[in-house]
Amino acid sequence: MRYAKNRKAQTRARIVESASLSLRETGIQMSIVEIMRAAGLTHGGFYAHFESREALLGEVFETAMDQTLRWWRRLAAEGVPRPGIAKIVETYLHQDHRDNPARGCAVAAFVSDIRRQGPKSRRVFSLKLDEMTKEVAQQVAPPSSDLARQEAIAVITAMIGTLMLARAADCADLSDEILKAGLQAILGPGELPKSPGSPCGEK
């Protein structure tokens, strides 16, 4: 071997991470040139790591959803002794998350594109979504019932819908109003959240 044994794997991971950011920032029309440049490489090297653009996409869907799932788990752990759900929802519907899509929730970033992907990517999406549902179900009370699962789904869809509309709104007033309405609808009219500890999705 001419290079440290895991050097190629590290480069590959860097490309995936770069693509994960691009996907959430630019959308599914992100280009390979853009991804590779952001990873500090030139576009030609791409095919030493991936068979095609589509192959990368599939992997990025999975990686990004895993990141989001881990983020939620971290938040839930920080949320005790309150129900973990409150910490998740407050962080998710915070302005910092709204304003930083590139490091934010994967689901909100590409839900609308999944419909048009191949069966493999669609499968991965559904499986990861199911994992996320289970995680959230454990944070609502009472956990582990059919009702908890149904509630978890409702919380997830409400969070995602709220975030996407808040991001689409073009003036801060309307956008903040949407965030607040979503927050209160999910958590009830409790005290307003003090600025949460980890403002954004990653790092």
Partner DNA sequence: TGTACATCAGTGAACGCGCGTTCACTGATGTAC
Residues that bind a copy of itself (CB under 8 A): 26-27, 29, 101, 107-116, 119, 122-123, 125-126, 129-130, 150-151, 153-154, 156-162, 164-165, 167-171, 174, 177-178, 180-182, 184-185
Cα–Cα distance between 108 and 98 in angstroms, integer? 10
Residue pair 134/165 in contact (Cβ under 8 Å)? The answer is: no
Q: Is 118 in the site for DNA (CB under 7 A)?
A: no
Tokens representing 163? 């975030």
Q: Is 7 in the site for DNA (CB under 7 A)?
A: yes
Residue pair 131/68 in contact (Cβ under 8 Å)? The answer is: no
CB of 106 to DNA, least distance (A): 19
Contact region with DNA (CB under 7 A), list: 3-11, 110-118, 158-166, 172-180:
3-11
Cα–Cα distance between 199 and 13 in angstroms, integer? 25
Contact region with DNA (CB under 7 A), list: 33-41, 76-84, 102-110, 135-143:
33-41
Helix axes 53-79, 7-26, angle to 10 degrees: 80
Residue 21 parent element (H or E) = helix 7-26
Surface-to-core class of residue 81, CB atoms within 10 Å of its CB (0-12 exposed, 13-18 middle, 19+ buried): exposed
CB of 30 to a copy of itself, least distance (A): 11
Residues that bind DNA (rule: CB under 7 A) add up to a total of: 25
Q: Is 43 in the site for DNA (CB under 7 A)?
A: yes
Q: Is 49 in the site for DNA (CB under 7 A)?
A: yes
| Residue with smaller CB distance to DNA, 30 or 166 | 30
